[in-house]
Structure 1
Amino acid sequence: MAPGQPPLLQLPSFLHGTYSLVQQKTKEEGLRCGKQYRESGSFPAPQQMLEVPPHEWVVTHEVVDFHRERPAWRLHMVSGVMQGLYEAMDWQSPIPLRDAYEEFIRETGWGALYFAISPTSPKSAKITARRLQAVLRFWEPLQSARYVFSTPNDALSLEELMVASCHWALDAWCPTGEGSVYARMETAVNRMAQASREDSLEAIFRQMPRALISARDLKHRDVVADPSFQRERIAALDSRAFERVSGACTSDLLALLYAWDRQLGKQ
C-alpha cells in the first residue's frame, strides 16, 4: 500500500483458494485454534494475512458461491473454522465456544464483517449492536473491497452489502432512512446498545408487518397478525426468550409467527 492511500482489507490466507482448498484450510485452522484454546483458553492469530486487491471480489454467502473450482476470497467459509474448532473441542459447549471465538475475531475487519452479515444466531439487540459497532470500527479498510452477497456476478460496495444483509436492523432501529448508511448504522447501534424492553417492543412491532409478508403459509394468519395477540404472546416470553428476539430480526420474528401458528393448531 502506497503512503497516503486508504488501507486495504486484509483476509486470512485460509480464506483464499478453490472451494475445496478453502474447506480444507479452514478446518485445519479450526483444529489449530481448538488445540490452543484447549491448552491456554486463547485463540491464535491467523498465520498469514493477505491484502485483497481493490478489483477482486469477496464472496460472502454460500448461495452465490457457484464457481467452486475458481480461486476466490471466501469470507462465508469462516464457518468451516468454527466447525473445525467444535471438532477439536469434541463438540463440548459449542455455544460458549462460538461466542468466545466471535469475540476474538470481531477485533478484526474480516471477523467483524462475517458475524455482522452471517445468519449466525442470536441476534439480540445488544449482540447486534456489538457486531455492527465492530464493522463501523473497520469501515475504511472494509470499503476498499467489493462483495458478492445474494446475487451472483453482482459486486456490492460495503454500503450496499450492509443494506442488503442488515436492512432489518436499519429499518427497525433507524426507520427514517435519512443520512448515509454509516450514519444510520451509528444511530441503530446506539439505540440497540441502550435499548429497554419497551424500546425493543417498538422495534419488533415496526418489523412485524415485514415478517408477515414473508410468512406465506400461516394457517391462522388472521389471529397471529392481530397486534393485540402478538403483544399478549410477546409479553408472555421470559427474559431469556425475549432477549433472543430483542433485535427485531425478521427471521427471528418469522420463527415466532410460525411457533404461534403451530400452537394454535394444537388447541
Structure 2
Amino acid sequence: MRCGKQYRKDGTFPIPQQMHEIASGEVVLAHEVVDFQREQPSWRLYMVSHVMTALSEAPEWQNPYPVRNAYEAFFRQTTWGALFFATTHMGPVSAERTAARLQAVLRFWEPLQSARYLFSTPNATHSLEELMEASCGWAMNAWCPTVESSVRARLETATKRMAQATREDCIEAILRQMPRALSSARGLKHPRVLAEPSFQRERLCSLEPALFEHVSGACTADLLEKLYEWDRELGMQ
C-alpha cells in the first residue's frame, strides 16, 4: 500500500522502513515458491513477490506492468532486490531484462558472497556461486556455454552478450538451450518435429516482436511453454 500510494503521487517508491545487515554465514531462503522451513527463523526473499502481486491486483492499475517494472528497477538497486529478481525469473524473461537482473547481482557480488542460501533442496545450503548455478544456469548455458570459467566470469560474459544481443543472437542462444527444454518436456505429441532446429528457427523467426521478446532470454521455462504451444498447433494442422 505504501509503494502504490507513493508511486501514484510522484512516480517513486519509499525506501524500506528498516534495514538489517545479515551477518556472515547466515542463511537466506531464496526459493520463490516453496517455504520448506517455515518453523525456522530465516531471511526470506520470496516475500518481495507479495508486493509485486499486490501491485498487479490493485484495482487502480488498469495496466499493472509499468508500476511492476518501475518497482523492479528501483529495488534492483538494493542487494536483496538484485538477488530476488535474478533468481525468481518473474516474466517476461527477455534478454534485455535478464541482463539487467544479472548486472545487478554482479554489482553486489562481494556482500552477497557472505551469506549461505537455501534454494530448491531442503537443508542443503549453497554458496552464492552454487545458488546462481542452480537458478541461472540456463542463462550461462545459453549465452556462455564454455564451462572452464568461474560462475562469476560466465555470468559477466553472458550478461554482456545479452545486453548487446540482436534478434539473431537471441535465436542462436535459444537453439542452444532447446535440447535442455525438450529433455524436460512431457507428453509431447510431435517430439521429432519439435526437436528439429530448422523447425525451431522457422517458428522463432515468425514470432511478432513482443512475443519474441518474451523468449529472447532463452529461459528454459519460457521455451518449454513455447514448445507445448507449438505442439498443440501441430496437432491442429
TM over 0.5: yes
> Could you list the per-position Cα deviations for residues 43-62 of structure 1 after superposition, in whole angstroms to 9, with x for gaps in the alignment?
00001100112232100115
What's the counterpart of residue 236 of structure 2? Answer: 266
What's the counterpart of residue 79 of structure 2? Answer: 109
CA deviation after TM superposition for structure 1 residue 186, in Å: 0.7
Q: Does residue 184 of structure 1 match 2:129?
A: no
What's the counterpart of residue 69 of structure 1? Answer: 39
Alignment of 1:1-267 (within 5 A): 31-88=1-58, 90-267=60-237
Letter in 1 for 2:172: E
Q: Which structure has the larger Rg over C-alpha atoms?
A: 1
CA deviation after TM superposition for structure 1 residue 89, in Å: 5.7
User: Do the aligned residues in 2 keep the contact of 1:163 with 1:181 (CA within 8 Å)?
Assistant: yes
Provide the rounded CA distance (Å) in 1 between the counterparts of 2:156 and 2:192. Answer: 36
Provide the rounded CA distance (Å) in 2 between the counterparts of 1:192 and 1:74. Answer: 29
Structure 2 unaligned blocks of 5 or more: none
Structure 1 unaligned blocks of 5 or more: 1-30
CA deviation after TM superposition for structure 1 residue 86, in Å: 3.6
Provide the rounded CA distance (Å) in 2 between the counterparts of 1:77 and 1:102. Answer: 14
CA deviation after TM superposition for structure 1 residue 142, in Å: 0.6
Deviant stretches of 4+, over 4 Å = none
Provide the rounded CA distance (Å) in 1 between the counterparts of 2:103 and 2:37. Answer: 32
TM-score normalised to structure 1 length: 0.85
Provide the rounded CA distance (Å) in 2 between the counterparts of 1:215 and 1:87. Answer: 31
> Could you list the per-position Cα deviations for residues 92-141 of structure 1 after superposition, in whole angstroms to 9, with x for gaps in the alignment?
32111110100000111111110000030011111111110010001111
The range that moved more, 177-186 or 83-92, is 83-92
Provide the rounded CA distance (Å) in 2 between the counterparts of 1:41 and 1:64. Answer: 32
Provide the rounded CA distance (Å) in 1 between the counterparts of 2:201 and 2:79. Answer: 38
User: Do the aligned residues in 2 keep the contact of 1:86 with 1:92 (CA within 8 Å)?
Assistant: no
User: Do the aligned residues in 2 keep the contact of 1:34 with 1:86 (CA within 8 Å)?
Assistant: no
CA deviation after TM superposition for structure 1 residue 66, in Å: 2.2
- The percentage of aligned residue pairs carrying the same residue is 67
Letter in 2 for 1:163: E
CA deviation after TM superposition for structure 1 residue 65, in Å: 1.5
Provide the rounded CA distance (Å) in 2 between the counterparts of 1:253 and 1:153. Answer: 30
Provide the rounded CA distance (Å) in 2 between the counterparts of 1:222 and 1:236. Answer: 20
User: Do the aligned residues in 1 keep the contact of 2:188 with 2:228 (CA within 8 Å)?
Assistant: yes
How many residues in Structure 1 have an aligned counterpart in Structure 2? 237
Provide the rounded CA distance (Å) in 2 between the counterparts of 1:97 and 1:42. Answer: 10
Provide the rounded CA distance (Å) in 1 between the counterparts of 2:179 and 2:189. Answer: 17
User: Do the aligned residues in 2 keep the contact of 1:204 with 1:246 (CA within 8 Å)?
Assistant: yes
CA deviation after TM superposition for structure 1 residue 64, in Å: 4.4
Say if 1:62 and 1:175 are closer, same or farther in 2 by CA, change over 3 A.
Answer: closer
User: Do the aligned residues in 2 keep the contact of 1:208 with 1:253 (CA within 8 Å)?
Assistant: yes
Say if 1:154 and 1:266 are closer, same or farther in 2 by CA, change over 3 A.
Answer: same
CA deviation after TM superposition for structure 1 residue 145, in Å: 0.6
Provide the rounded CA distance (Å) in 2 between the counterparts of 1:134 and 1:33. Answer: 21
Letter in 1 for 2:78: T
